[in-house]
Amino acid sequence: MTLKLYNTLSRSLEPFEPLSPPHVRVYGCGPTVYDFPHIGNYRTFLVYDLLHRYLEWSGYQVKFVVNLTDVDDRTIEAAGKRGVPLREHTKPYADAFLADGRTLGILPADVHPLATEYVERMVTFVGKLVEKGLAYRAEDGSVYFSIAAFPTYGKLSRVDPEALRAGVRVAVDDYGKDDVRDFALWKAAKPADETAGAAWDSPWGRGRPGWHLECSVMSIAELGETLDIHVGGEDLIFPHHEDEIAQSEGVTGKPFVRYWMHAKHLLVDGRKMSKSLGNFIVVRELLEAGHEPAAIRHQLLSAQYRSELNFTMEGLEASGRAVQRLLDFEARIEEGATAATAAPAGLPEIAAPAVAAFRAALDEDLNTSDALAALFVLVGQGNAALDRAGAVLPAERDALRDALASIDRVLGLIEVARTSRALDAGTIAWVDGMIGQRRTARGARDFARADAIRKELAERGIVLEDSAQGTRWKVVRKVE
């Protein structure tokens, strides 16, 4: 069985074969750090994480690079509005992107290049395109890529370069371009760029890099001239990735990317997420409203990355319940009775096919919806077998535990829930003390007091379960 990925370049599912196995080099277009990323962005970033984890789980040695766009039109405009230098504006959002990613269990990339730290290399890169006759300086000091000089332009997005011209109505002279289709590699500095500290010297005068150029230069600098996989949201196919190909292949003469992957945009309540519609949701808001990170992660991974996913609060709540089921199952495996003399309960016969089904689902273009189904078959069948068995053989218990742990190395749901629910020693002592007081209150038939204690704990995200053996507690949600 091999991993198959849908390659936007060929518009078909292809067996994945890296250029030099077991190494895999992947580049994902990261956030533009002018504002907090929204949960749509995080759908895409979770696809990166899934790909990262699954490639490693499958035995590849992965170098994963996700850039941060910290200089472009949007960052400069946002810094300008506040009257602060570019870096002062972008730094908190860059930090927030990484912090929210950690909260959601997104593995850090091996490198998170900042565009502003690669400007010198970008200037060199543009110089090479000019030398090769693929780019030219316009009168104002901007440098444009010449689409007419690059015959394969359009191969990723399948736009017809001729038709492009007809679609653009502005007069060529307005931009100082030779051809309306040409895109900027280097933008001559405007006063606002200088004010924000977003202008650098170049052979063509003061200016700043174009966004498309940034990704070509950072990816080649970190991963070499041919990448195995380049991933991004579907909106980036044209013009961003088309332009990356033109620039990169223009300079190197080699294929830039072997597999292009694109994640479908997230909908919110059935509509495209946008600030103007007021359905623009950021991770922090959801956490503040009491949703746990593992539930957000589950919800955003619940559909295969190329299929439609509609984010709703009901869906998020259902995800919270799914996560709880996983944790309950895990606790049951850990805490259930084992006995060296127990009769076989058939647990390995449940575990092995579940992991195989999980792998088969992800091998099929990262089908997370089928992979989650395989996981919950494991939970359902495992619970039923444990109900029947009572005590189980230690080796059988281990088979179930290992299958669950192996699956979670990719999905990261138990991992994220455990991290976000972990309490410090002081809080644990406080909870234990409260449970002791509740026991005393119940012993004295002071049920009002006992209920008040239960309620207070619930408000802190802690749920009590009374049984013949005493009171157990679990954290369903961490409250600061």
Kindly list the residues in this chain that would bind Zn ion in the complex (CB under 5 A): 29, 215
* Least distance (Å) between residue 26 CB and ligand AMP: 13
- Secondary structure (3-state) at 296: helix
Out of 18, 40, 101, 210, which residue is the one contacting ligand AMP (CB under 6 A)? 40
CA 91/CA 95 separation, integer angstroms:
6
Q: How far is CA 109 from CA 68, 323, 413, in A?
A: 11, 25, 19
* Least distance (Å) between residue 232 CB and ligand AMP: 4
Going by their DSSP bridges, the two strands 61-66 and 23-28 should be labelled as parallel
Is the CB of 66 or the CB of 316 nearer to Zn ion? 66
Residues numbered 354 to 393 that lie near ligand AMP (CB under 6 A) are: none
Is the CB of 115 or the CB of 347 nearer to Zn ion? 115
Q: Give yes or no for residue 41 binding ligand AMP (CB under 6 A).
A: yes
Is the CB of 149 or the CB of 215 nearer to Zn ion? 215
Q: Label residue 254 exposed, middle or buried (CB < 10 Å: 0-12, 13-18, 19+).
A: exposed
* Least distance (Å) between residue 213 CB and ligand AMP: 15
> Residue 382: which of Zn ion, ligand AMP, none does it interact with, CB under 5 to 8 A by kind?
none
Give the binding range for ligand AMP (CB under 6 A) out of 5-13, 29-37, 55-63, 415-423.
29-37
- Beta-ladder partners of 188: 207
Which residue number has the CB closest to ligand AMP? 233
* Least distance (Å) between residue 263 CB and ligand AMP: 6
Out of 9, 24, 29, 94, which residue is the one contacting ligand AMP (CB under 6 A)? 29
CA 131/CA 169 separation, integer angstroms:
30
Out of 154, 209, 233, 382, which residue is the one contacting ligand AMP (CB under 6 A)? 233
> Residue 368: which of Zn ion, ligand AMP, none does it interact with, CB under 5 to 8 A by kind?
none
Give the binding range for ligand AMP (CB under 6 A) out of 14-22, 35-43, 247-255, 281-289.
35-43
List the strands of the sheet with 257-263, edge to edge: 61-66, 23-28, 227-233, 257-263
> Residue 355: which of Zn ion, ligand AMP, none does it interact with, CB under 5 to 8 A by kind?
none
Instruction: Report whether the peptide linkage leading into residue 21 is cis, meaning its omega lies within 30 degrees of zero.
Output: no
Site string for ligand AMP, 234-273 (x = CB under 6 A): -xx--------------------------x-xx------x
Of 341, 282, 269, 349, the closest CA to residue 310 belongs to 269
Out of 7, 8, 32, 299, which residue is the one contacting ligand AMP (CB under 6 A)? 32
Q: How far is CA 178 from CA 183, 383, 458, in A?
A: 10, 69, 67
Q: Give yes or no for residue 43 binding ligand AMP (CB under 6 A).
A: yes
Going by their DSSP bridges, the two strands 183-188 and 135-137 should be labelled as unpaired
CA 427/CA 368 separation, integer angstroms:
36
Residue where the block lists tokens 């972990």:
422
* Least distance (Å) between residue 369 CB and ligand AMP: 17
Out of 105, 113, 210, 232, which residue is the one contacting ligand AMP (CB under 6 A)? 232
Contacts of 186 (CB under 8 A, 6+ apart): 122, 123, 126, 142, 143, 202, 204, 207, 208, 209, 210, 213
* Least distance (Å) between residue 69 CB and Zn ion: 7
Is residue 400 a contact partner of residue 350, using CB atoms and an 8 Å limit?
Answer: yes
CB atoms within 10 A of CB 272: 11
Q: Give yes or no for residue 149 binding ligand AMP (CB under 6 A).
A: no
Q: Give yes or no for residue 216 binding ligand AMP (CB under 6 A).
A: no
CA 200/CA 207 separation, integer angstroms:
5
The 10 Å CB-count burial string (b at 16+, else e) for 315-343 is bbeebbebbbebbebbeebeeeeeeeebe
> Residue 215: which of Zn ion, ligand AMP, none does it interact with, CB under 5 to 8 A by kind?
Zn ion
Q: Tell me, what amino acid is at 290?
A: G
- Secondary structure (3-state) at 282: strand
* Least distance (Å) between residue 343 CB and ligand AMP: 50
Is the CB of 154 or the CB of 233 nearer to ligand AMP? 233
Is the CB of 263 or the CB of 400 nearer to ligand AMP? 263
> Residue 76: which of Zn ion, ligand AMP, none does it interact with, CB under 5 to 8 A by kind?
none
Q: Name the residues that contact ligand AMP, by CB under 6 A.
A: 29, 31-32, 40-41, 43-44, 69, 232-233, 235-236, 263, 265-266, 273
